[in-house]
Structure 1
Amino acid sequence: MVLLSPHSLAPSPAERARSVLSRPNPATVTTAHVSLHLTGAVCHTTAEGEVTLLLPDQHRVLAEIGEGGLEATVEFTDTAPVDLRDPTRSLLWIIGDLRIAPPAQARGRALAVLAEDPDERLLDLGHGRTMVVMDPHLIVHSDYEGCHLLHPEEFTEAAADPFGRWEGPWLRHLEDDHPDVLRALVAHCPAPLPQGRPRPLGVDRHGLCLRLEGPDGDHDVRIPFRRLVRTPHDIAHEVREMAGLDRHRC
């Protein structure tokens, strides 16, 4: 990852890990005897740092958990929302104890999440899906900055980026409808960049990430915003400013 300003703010590894969990990324739950792949994991993190997942009813992993809990590893693959030739942005591994949430507790947790986050996938709870809760013991996040071992307290205190669910549709819109903006962003960068087709890789409250797909490989670049953004309108304004297209809508 090329950072256009070494002093620019960027999400911490713990914040990036929490953001992975806030998006509908694929995940694999692995125990000593069974593995379960989830194409779009319904995952939420509580204020206490516990991670909840919805698993298919009657799956073997639920029977294995039983009443006493079960140690498991959950691997989350942070996948780019646009069709890149290498779609993986980062990997997150969480090792901890899984337990099945009693129905009343599961409904309470789901309602608490829905009060803040209208995630309609939670409506599957009790209709083919069972909630399990993981108490993390070990968290490892690996991305362009390297591999980071996160302390559970550090993970708990971090917050997911507020644009985690919103970024996918917006990046696809940028890719499909505004390739001129992507080219302008590269042209107006204050530092020379590797050659390659600019693709939208990610966006957060700190800045925009592009991937340059060139003949010699992929090169990622983070373009920091001038200030922390608070709304989608702020992001569009910052991107227009950086691209030198003040009147361009995106």
Structure 2
Amino acid sequence: MVLLLPYPNSLTPSPAERARSVLSRPNPATVTSAEVSLHLTGAVCHTTFEGEVTLLVPDQHRVLAEIGEGSLEATVEFTDTAPVDLRDPTRSLLWISGDLSVPPLSEARDRALSVLADDADERLLDLGHGRTMVVMNPHLVVHSDQEGCHLLHPEEFTDAAADPFGRWEGPWLRHLEEDHPDVLWALVTRCGTQLPPGRPRPLGVDRHGLRLRLEGPDGDHDVRIPFRRPARTPHDVAHEVQEMAGLDQRQH
């Protein structure tokens, strides 16, 4: 369970939003079919307006041989890992079941250009230069984290939007952990709620709030500290955190 501090107007991302956000980060994945189980490291993932999930994988990856010229019925498990070195790095799991296929390079390029029109993800430029596109047509989507396990209808998953800070959060959380531990302790001290003892570690951030993990002698405890208003930019995130910590923003 995640302890949500009782602040007014507290909002949290929906399960579908959290699932979409898992795909926006370079998380490890495992492709499992009736015959094989194959690991993918840092697969580049996007979701199209039609609900298909695209992945860029190395040209010589075995999954391409398994798919061949047809399709492969499989489940892809994405492990959402924390960007800092926690005792338990797994934040959530996302399972997507469906049919995998490899489109022709010309079609793959058209798909990449369509994505680039709304998402300037430079990793897509690797297509055709050591990377091949795989397309999944989802039939079943399940997301599980400490707030519960949720079966998502494919349309619900498609209509949701990933959090805008999905790719930005990793470097920022590592910066917070390494350079500003005083901010983490100040957040715990000033939250106005008695929390379990433990060292505060940055677990995650989204437009609605910051998540901390308290690593204590009796185990780990997660706490969510909501922002007063949804953040629109990285500057908004930093401003909210510094203000809640009661620190001089000029020093951070």
User: Mind listing any 5+ residue stretches in structure 1 that lack a counterpart?
Assistant: none
Tell me by how many angstroms 1:49 deviates.
1.3
* 64-73 or 8-17, larger mean C-alpha shift: 64-73
Tell me by how many angstroms 1:248 deviates.
4.8
TM-score (norm 1): 0.95
* 50-59 or 238-247, larger mean C-alpha shift: 50-59
Structure 1 counterpart of 2:238, one-letter code: A
- The answer (yes or no) to whether the contact 1:237–1:246 under 8 Å persists in 2 is no
Query: Which residue of structure 2 aligns with residue 48 of structure 1?
Result: 50
Q: Percent identity?
A: 83
Q: Are 1:2 and 2:15 an aligned pair?
A: no
Query: Which residue of structure 2 aligns with residue 32 of structure 1?
Result: 34
- The answer (yes or no) to whether the contact 1:240–1:248 under 8 Å persists in 2 is no
Instruction: Give the alignment's Cα RMSD to 1 decimal.
Output: 1.4
Structure 2 counterpart of 1:48, one-letter code: E
* 72-81 or 4-13, larger mean C-alpha shift: 4-13
Structure 2 residue corresponding to 1:166, chosen from 165, 168, 177: 168
Tell me by how many angstroms 1:41 deviates.
1.2
SS in 2 for 1:184: helix
Partners in 1 of 2:158 and 2:119 — Cα distance? 18
Query: Which residue of structure 1 aligns with residue 113 of structure 2?
Result: 111
Partners in 1 of 2:42 and 2:101 — Cα distance? 20
Partners in 1 of 2:250 and 2:191 — Cα distance? 18
Q: How many residues align?
A: 250
Query: Which residue of structure 2 aligns with residue 245 of structure 1?
Result: 247
SS in 2 for 1:116: coil
* 190-199 or 118-127, larger mean C-alpha shift: 118-127
Structure 2 counterpart of 1:171, one-letter code: L
Structure 1 residue corresponding to 2:130, chosen from 115, 128, 131: 128
Query: Which residue of structure 2 aligns with residue 78 of structure 1?
Result: 80
Query: Which residue of structure 2 aligns with residue 13 of structure 1?
Result: 15
TM-score (norm 2): 0.95
SS in 2 for 1:74: strand
Partners in 2 of 1:94 and 1:152 — Cα distance? 10
Question: Which segments of structure 1 move beyond 4 Å, counting only runs of 4 or more?
Answer: none
- The answer (yes or no) to whether the contact 1:138–1:151 under 8 Å persists in 2 is yes
Structure 2 counterpart of 1:5, one-letter code: P
Partners in 2 of 1:106 and 1:206 — Cα distance? 34
Partners in 2 of 1:60 and 1:54 — Cα distance? 13
Query: Which residue of structure 1 aligns with residue 185 of structure 2?
Result: 183
